[in-house]
Structure formats: C-alpha cells, structure tokens
Amino acid sequence: MKRPKPVKPANRLSSTPPPPSRHSPSLSRASSRTIKISLQSTSPPARLKTRKALAPHFSAPPGEANKNLPSLNGFLASPDFEWTPLNVERSELSLPLTLLTGQTFRWKQTGPSQFTGVVKSHLFSLKQLDNDVGYFLHFSRTNSLVAEKALIDYLNLKISTKEMWAGFVEADSRFAALAPHVAGIRVLRQDPLECLFQFICSSNNNIGRITKMVDHLSSFGSPLGSVGGFDFYEFPSLEELAHVSEERLRNAGFGYR
C-alpha cells in the first residue's frame, strides 16, 4: 500500500515569492528596494519681538509752525482773539447742542460759549457769537486754508438743517413740538476711526467715564497744544493703538466692569 504524500498546510507561506503572472507588470530592481525617506527636523519659529506699549507723551511740535502754538502751561482764550466767522446762524449750528450731547467726547469748554477741540491735525477753538460761530486756529500741521476746509467738512456745514427741518416739522407733529428746543444741532462728519473708538468706549458707560477713556486713547497720538489747562492730541492711528497693551488699558479703567 502506497503512503500518501504529505500536504502542506494552506496557511503557511512559502519562503519564496510566487513568480509574477505573465499579465502582471514586471518588477524593476528599483521597485524592490526599500526607499528611505529622511524627515529633516524643523526648528520652532523664532519668537517675534514685540514693541513696548507707547506711553502717553506731550511735547510741543517742533518747527516754525510753532509760533501759533499755545503755551504748554495752558491758557484761556480771551475775548480779544480775532475770531474768523463761519457765517452760520445759530439755528444752523449750536455749539453746546452739537459738541456736548454725546456724538463726540473730544471737545472741552475753555471759556464762555467757547469750545476747543481737534479736527484731524488741527487744533481749533470755536465760539458761539450773537448770530454766528467764529473759529480760532491755534495750530495746524498743514496751513490755515486746509484747516478751514477740514473744519467746514467736520461741522457738515454744506448741508442746511433749516431746510431739512422745515420738511420734518410739516410731516411730524411730535418733531414740530421739539424742534424749537434743539435748533442748531447737527450731525458731525467725524473721522471713521475716531468715531468708532468713541462708540466702543461709550458702551454701558456714563459721559464722564467715556470722556476719560477717550482722552486716554487720544494721548497716544501726536501732541498739538494746550488750551485752558487741557492737553490736545491728534487722534492716534490704528498702528499706534496696536502697540498699546491690554494690561495698560485695564489699568487705565478700560473694560466692562
């Protein structure tokens, strides 16, 4: 009786690979080699150097243009100033109703019916006259013509509120009753960045605290002069404000509660 040949287990692998099928692509020597990929270690990125927060500063702008710059000790503009008229009636522009009612917080009262503030890089005082508004230019980084044009644009004087209000009074009885008490109030054309930051500071705040916060932000800009004991600055650029740390702002009273 013949003994059967031993059968290899089906689950055991042969030590030699099976020959490639004639239908399969031929394997090159390169494909049979083990390819080593070396991963070059990358060093962590260098830490960026941060600039220190800019401290509030104040000094008189240098140069010949300083001849009209007020003393840094401050002074009260006197009635003897030569006020340049804007030729605008009180019914078209009331300084107290326009400058002190919450749409801007950068104007200071520096005398009877007199207010001082900054328009772009120009330092002005405005005075409510009998039936007009006069201005005095303390300092400008450009010239008086550019400064006057900037002031007229800021006060939005190219639009007549008297004509607009006549239509409002006719259309709304409630407005007609209130109009005589708020004649001369108008919307200012403020710099968008300055207006935005004042609006942010106004959230959940009272006028006194808002004014203090806006004054602190303004102090990071370029100094323009001092009037009536108040220091005035050009509102800082976004780049200048970016260097002010959160800690510095919190120490100055910024933040909600």
pLDDT in tens, 72-128: 333 344 446 799 999 999 999 999 999 999 999 999 999 999 999 999 999 999 999
pTM value is: 0.68
Per domain, the residue ranges of the chain are 64-251
- pLDDT score for 253: 84
pLDDT of residue 106: 96
111-143 exposure pattern, b = at least 16 Cβ within 10 A, e = fewer: beebbbbbbbbbbbbbbbeeebbbbbbbbbbee
pLDDT given for residue 204 in this prediction: 77
pLDDT of residue 163: 86
Q: What CA dihedral angle connects 118, 122, 128 and 131, to 10 degrees?
A: -140
What pLDDT is recorded for position 3? Answer: 55
- Give the pLDDT confidence score for residue 120 in this predicted structure: 95
* Predicted pLDDT of residue 119: 97
Q: Which fold has domain 64-251?
A: TATA-Binding Protein (3.30.310)
Would you say how long the chain is, in residues?
257
- Which whole number is the average pLDDT over 42-70? 35
Reply yes or no on whether the pLDDT at 149 is more than 50: yes
State the Cα torsion 129-133-138-140 to the nearest 10°.
-170
Q: How confident is the model at residue 5 (pLDDT cuts 50, 70, 90)?
A: low
**E strand intervals along 5-119:** 84-85, 108-111, 114-119
pLDDT at 68: 43
| Residue 153 main-chain phi, psi, to 5 deg | -70, -40
DSSP secondary structure, 22-47, as one string: TTSPPPPHHHHSPPP---PPPPPPPP
CA 7 to chain centre: 87
Q: Specify the range with the lowest mean pLDDT, choosing from 49-58, 62-71, 146-155, 197-206.
A: 49-58
Q: Answer whether residue 198 shows pLDDT above 80.
A: yes
Backbone angles phi, psi at 215, to 5 degrees: -60, -40
Residue 8 DSSP one-character state: P
pLDDT digits over 109-122, tens only?
A: 999 999 999 999 99
